[in-house]
Amino acid sequence: MNSRYIGALIISPFIIFLFIGGMFLKYLVLILSLCGMYEFYKVSKEKNINPISWIGYVICIIYYLYPNNMNFDSLFFVIIFGVLISLCIPVLNKNYNFIDISITFLGFLYIGVFFSFIVMTNNKEYGNLFVWFIFISSWVCDTAAYYSGKFFGKRKLCPEVSPKKTVEGSIGGFLGSTIACGGFGMFVISKGVNVPLVHFFLLGALCGIVTQFGDLTASSIKRYVGVKDYSNLIPGHGGILDRFDSILFASLVVYYYITFIMRL
């Protein structure tokens, strides 16, 4: 069996947790965050950066588990207290410096916090429906971009970052995300969500742009440190960050759009 299909089977149980939601989804996202942070810290060492990984893991766990629900007050507290402790470490141990500390907290913010928007979206009113926009936009954009680029791609999009991506593929991904989210929006409205349909097309369009930046951001990091994949955890897909790179960005956009634009 093709390794990509095996990898897809490994990932598929995640969909079950989306249906279940609640604490089960929260703990799964915490595990994904810790695994993603591990991959990020590991590849950063390829450039002789030495992140204080245990601090990153601890503040991520505290952020997810205390207080009972994640909020920005707890995030601010965790970051400030964590930075205070971390800045003292290079004074006591010359093996670490301020760059190591910066990468430590970047890993937490980029992965741990961005992942948490999945949970925060799920916790909102009608969140069990809106959380699907994160994954639909990402998966459809990725698939549409792949096939659009395969059949129509001629002009390179960002050859220095990702040589295989094309302008035509990018446009296909954008349109795929827009149409898919608009279509799913019709289903959401049928479930009693009183939001104009145009918002769902706009949300899909935004995600169609941002998810591609999420993919390219992860690629730029890999290219800088000189690795092909973040890990080989998922056969045919690479690591957690290889599979969820665009979802990280989509989760943030979906949460803020439904919070500040839809006002839900």
Of 125, 260, 137, 131, nearest to 194 by C-alpha is 125
pLDDT value of position 18: 79
pLDDT of residue 84: 93
- The whole-number pLDDT of residue 20 equals 83
Q: Work out the percent of the chain whose per-residue pLDDT is above 90.
A: 76
pTM of the model: 0.92
Higher-confidence residue: 78 or 188?
188
DSSP 195: -
Q: In this structure, are residues 234 and 7 in contact, taking their beta carbons and an 8 Å threshold?
A: yes
Which of the pair, 203 or 163, is modelled with greater confidence? 203
pLDDT surpassing 50 at residue 1? no
Number of domains in the chain: 1
DSSP collapsed to 3 states, 126-181:
CHHHHHHHHHHHHHHHHHHHHHHHHHHCCCEEECCCEEEEEHHHHHHHHHHHHHHH
Angle between helices 22-44 and 114-123 (to 10 degrees): 170
Domain extent for 112: 3-261
pLDDT tens-digit series, residues 90-138: 999 999 999 999 999 999 999 999 999 999 999 999 999 999 999 999 9
Instruction: Return the pLDDT at 79.
Output: 87
Cα–Cα distance for residue pair 248/212, rounded to 1 Å = 11
